[in-house]
Every structure is written in structure tokens, then in C-alpha cells.
Amino acid sequence: MTLNSRERRGRFLAIAGGAAVLAAVALALSMIRSPWQERAHRLDLERVSRLDQLADLIDCRYAQTGELPDDLARLAEFVPDPAATASVCSRVHRARSNAEVARLCGDCAYDPLGVNSYQLCADFATDATEAEDGPYRLRPPGRRDWRHGAGSQCFELAAPDE
């Protein structure tokens, strides 16, 4: 039994349509994260948020005292002046309690490097070197860039002279 041209065209269109649907499903699946990848991404976003809060607290302490803390334990003792005018301190006042912010980063490291420069380090599960979502999106001038690779990453920061 031979197929006429109309039947061949119909069969070809059915096969091509099925292949297009399969390709679309495969493409969609390749673009979404697995539950494990999504969880790791969310944990890294939280880690970046904690680093940002910690950096705000360090910068506020520097703005008010002219000194960086020796370590995170000393930072936890710092209480910002409620009348502080430094813009970085206004972000700290809206944050959690200062001792809690310092404890938030239990898995990160802090090292003072110079008069107003310091380093914050943390371990990340995902590579966000090209990320543009959440805390990685474009920041206003003067805000920090937290894009990072996977693994242990350090950020060299400087407390602003306000």
C-alpha cells in the first residue's frame, strides 16, 4: 500500500509537530533549576543578604568611631548612635539588632586589611558571576557588587568616609 502525497504531508507534519513539542519541552527543562539547585541559589542569596547587612554595620561603626572592629565579636558590641547622620547608619537602624547581624554570618570570615578596608569571605554553592537577579542586579552608585563564583569567595571592601 502506497501513501499518496496528501497522506505523506500529513504524516510529515505530525512527526515534525511532535519533534517541535519535544524540543520545546527539552529546552524548558534545561532552563529551569532542579530543586537542589534552587535551594542552593536561595541559600546563596540569603548569604549575600547577610554579608550586605554585616558590611553596613561595619561601615556604620567606622563612620561613627573612625575605626574598623578587630573581629566580629567586637562588632557585636557596637551600638549605633540613633542620631547618626551617615547614610550607611540609616540602613543599619532598619536592620536587625546589631548582635544578631554579627551572628548571622556564622559561616563567613572578616579580616580588617587597612585603616578603612576590610575583607568578608563566605562559601557559596552556586556560581553567580553573571547573575543579575536579587542582590546581584545593578546597584545604585556606591553599593556593593556581590557577584561570586562557587566555593570560598572573598570581597575586599572599604568603609566610606562620610
Q: What pLDDT is attached to residue 39?
A: 86
pLDDT at 21: 84
Q: H-helix or E-strand containing 18?
A: helix 5-31
Q: Are 81 and 107 in contact (CB under 8 A)?
A: no
- Total length of the chain: 162
**pTM score, whole prediction:** 0.71
Q: How many CB atoms lie within 10 A of CB 40?
A: 16
**3-state class (DSSP) for residue 43:** helix
In this prediction, residues 57-81 reach a mean pLDDT of 84
Return the closest-CA partner of residue 104 out of 90, 92, 86, 118: 92
Give the pLDDT confidence of 87-121 residue by residue, as tens digits: 667 766 655 566 676 666 677 889 999 999 999 99
Eight-state DSSP code of residue 1: -
